[in-house]
Structure 1
Amino acid sequence: MSPPVKCFYGLFVSIAVLFRRPRPRLTPVTRGDAVRRILELASVKVGSGERALVVFFDLRCPFCAKLFRETEEVLLEMAQRGLIIYAMCDYVVHREAEHLHRALRCISEGERLGFIREVFSGKRVETGSCPEGNLRECEKVAEEVGVYGTPTLLFYHLGKDRGYVHFGYMSPSEVMETLSSL
């Protein structure tokens, strides 16, 4: 290969590597006891089954909002059909979101997804005055399985007592692929 061609080829390979989308980084989890505790503490829990998806979220996290808007409908449908347990667990990163998370915990379980939907769509919501409750408990248990920020997705097969944690946004297709791999 002549020097100009070699240089061009090297540049092409470098650009290809830059734009290639890496596969999601999944960290193995085998702490079934912690996962079950997280499911008990989750502010939202829909469905039943052996496969669970827990999303750790902050109501002021823009990537949490993006993930929610893109996946909520399909995950809720799967949960209602009994294919998965879809849960959302508070993990407050932004201080200005604390009052929203407290308010979420003060409303009935049936209204919580609607509240989250409104917050993530940018609507102004009434928060009132609510005690903290077990907001921080969920965060403490989440850290036992490797959660350190938002959004974090915990994919877990309860029957096999194994799963994965992924930190950061995932596309809907990546979420579905990871769920089906459990």
Structure 2
Amino acid sequence: MNKNMIKLAASSVLLGLMACTANANDSADTQNVRKLFQTRFADRQVLSVGKTPVKGIYEVVLKGNRIVYVDQKVDYLFVGDLIDVAKRESLTEARQASLSRVDWKSLPLQYAIKEVRGNGERKMAVFTDPDCPFCKRLEREGLEGVTNVTIYTYLYPLVELHPDALHKSQQIWCASDRGATWTAFMHDGKALPSATDCDTSALARIKELGERLGINGTPGLVFANGRIVAGAIPKEEIEANLDAK
């Protein structure tokens, strides 16, 4: 359930293109654009500024890996996809994917609910909200029948959309069997245990992790190859990502 218009996809073509075309003049230009942007949008944290293939248009990456475009004087700002018409490719999606790659080894798996299916050799993580209907769809349809996988579930309640989701996440986290409680609730709608008196500090750490990774909605899927995918994608797409290198 997305909270903004940024879409996540897989490719790193644009990042390489921009690195190959940078030069000293580009650096001076981008530094000036950055300075102007920060003057006009003092409340926004700029992570990087770079040239695009379109003359006079610059890419600005903001905190959370959100991409916007501006002209050289920052008189105009554009939000949306920059499309290479000849190749019929979204350069924005390609750049977003390169920014969103995750080092799987860096994930704090101790804060996740672990489920091993079959030999568990494939790996994926899911940032999920117990009150998100698309998360339920992922559990009931997308992940149904997927085997030989270890799934790490991060409870990631979006309280702005679902006010009771944090409380439910606490109930799940404090359950004696978190995995069974989660599955029963998401698949069958079974009542959650009432206790919430355990240490739930892991939920705050998961929130920080998700924000740092730029996960703006649920479900957010992270695969072992570092790719982040947003939404309740179908089983076939999950399988393809699990097998991808």
**For this structure pair, what is the TM-score category when the shorter chain's length is used for normalisation?**
0.5 to 0.7
Of 164, 169, 172, the match for 1:96: 164
1:117 maps to a residue whose letter is T
Q: Which has the higher contact order (CA 8 A, sep 6+)?
A: 1
Deviation at 1:54, TM superposition (A): 0.5
Using a 3 Å threshold, how does the CA distance of structure 1 residues 133 and 146 change in structure 2: closer, same or farther? same
Unaligned runs of 5+ in 1: 1-23, 80-84, 158-162
| Residue in 1 that maps onto 2:59 | none
Q: Does 1:25 align with 2:9?
A: yes
Q: Which residue of 2 aligns with 1:130?
A: 197
CA distance in 2, matches of 1:129, 1:41: 16
Identity of aligned residues (%): 25
Cα gap change, 1:40 to 1:176, in 2 (>3 Å): same
CA deviation after TM superposition for structure 1 residue 73, in Å: 4.4
1:59 counterpart = 2:130: yes
Unaligned runs of 5+ in 2: 1-7, 11-96
* Partner SS, residue 229 of structure 2: strand
Q: 1:119 aligns with which of 185, 190, 194?
A: 185
Q: TM-score, normalised by structure 2?
A: 0.52
Matched, 1:179 2:245: no
Q: Distance in 2 between matches of 1:86 and 1:112?
A: 13
Corresponding residue SS for 1:59: coil
Q: Does 1:153 align with 2:216?
A: no
Matched residues in 2 for 1:100 and 1:168: separation?
21
Q: Residue 141 of structure 1 corresponds to which residue in structure 2?
A: 209
Higher helix fraction (1 or 2): 1
8 Å Cα contact 2:174/2:195 also seen in 1: no
Kindly state the Cα deviation for residue 139 of structure 1 after the two structures are TM-superposed. Answer: 1.7
Cα separation, partners in 2 of 1:40 and 1:129, compared to 1, 3 Å: closer
Residues 27-71 of structure 1 show CA distances to partners (whole Å, capped at 9, x for unaligned) of 2444427x533323213353754x421010000000001101124
* Change in 2 beyond 3 A, CA 1:78/1:61: same
- Structure 2 SS opposite 1:89: strand
Separation in 1 of the partners of 2:190 and 2:240?
32
- Give the greater-gyration-radius structure (CA): 2
Normalized against structure 1, the TM-score is what? 0.68
Q: CA deviation at 1:118?
A: 2.1
Opposite residue 138 of structure 1, the aligned amino acid is I
Q: Tell me: CA distance 1:148–1:141, structure 2 relative to 1, closer, same or farther (3 Å).
A: same
Superposition CA RMSD, Å = 2.3
Q: Distance in 2 between matches of 1:72 and 1:124?
A: 22
